[in-house]
Amino acid sequence: MKEKEEKWKQELNRYFEGLRIIEKYQQEAREHFAQFCEFIVEPAFEALEKELKDRKIKIKYFKEKYKFIHLQINFPDSRVDNFHYRIVLPKNSLELKLVQKIAGRKDKKSPLQKKEGPFMPEVKPGEILKLSKEDILMDVINRLKEFNYAARTSPD
């Protein structure tokens, strides 16, 4: 009888330990995402902003701590948004397995076209913090090129 009582208590303790471990990993993922945004992504966006300013193209970027960082590029000499690049930390993440959301307009009156997928799928979650600002800049430029080249060459 005593043995059965001990078994369920052990199981209950394992349950609470499991919850504690999940919460610990989720908090670490949020903190790592905040570091990634602050020390890698934001400096990349700042460098891009400076470069595009010379071409009279305005950008905005903002973040929601522990959730996402977002870049918006506007059409030249316009307030109309042309391109959006967002890196998202999915809710309840245990690691930096990030999602990328891209959206853009073919022209100032077109609706936004959206695309979502894994952020840099070739980079393992444990390697995300090892990326450089240049890696981020290259990804932004490649996504911008892909979108704009497709938009400018599509028949519709």
Q: Is 132 left (phi over 0), alpha (psi -120 to 50) or beta?
A: beta
Global pTM reads: 0.89
Q: How confident is the model at residue 15 (pLDDT cuts 50, 70, 90)?
A: very high
Tell me: the pLDDT tens digits for 42-83?
999 999 999 998 888 899 999 999 999 999 998 777 777 889
Query: pLDDT > 90: what percent of the chain?
Result: 72
Using the predicted structure, report yes or no on whether residue 152 has a pLDDT greater than 90.
no
Record the tokens describing residue 149, joined without a space.
Answer: 């080249």
Average pLDDT over residues 114-133: 96
Q: Residue 1: what pLDDT?
A: 61
DSSP 8-state secondary structure symbol assigned to residue 40: I
Sign for the CA dihedral angle at 97, 111, 41, 152 comes to: positive
Of 77, 85, 75, residue with least CA distance to 45:
85
Q: How far apart are CA 30 and CA 145, in angstroms?
A: 30
Average pLDDT over residues 30-42: 97
Using the predicted structure, report yes or no on whether residue 14 has a pLDDT greater than 90.
yes
Concatenate the DSSP letters of all residues of 83-152 into one string. Answer: EEEEEE--TT-SS---EEEEEE-SSTTSPPEEEEEESSTTS-GGGGGG--HHHHHHHHHHHHHHHHHHHH
Q: 34-38, 87-91, 108-112 — which is least confidently predicted? A: 108-112
Q: How confident is the model at residue 156 (pLDDT cuts 50, 70, 90)?
A: low
Using the predicted structure, report yes or no on whether residue 12 has a pLDDT greater than 70.
yes
Q: How far apart are CA 30 and CA 15, in angstroms?
A: 23
Of 139, 135, 146, residue with least CA distance to 118:
139
Facing residues of 72 across strands?
60, 84
pLDDT, mean over the chain:
92
DSSP 8-state secondary structure symbol assigned to residue 31: H
> Biggest alpha carbon distance in the chain?
79
Q: Which residue has the higher pLDDT, 3 or 129?
A: 129
Of 67, 51, 49, residue with least CA distance to 59:
49
Q: Residue 140: what pLDDT?
A: 97
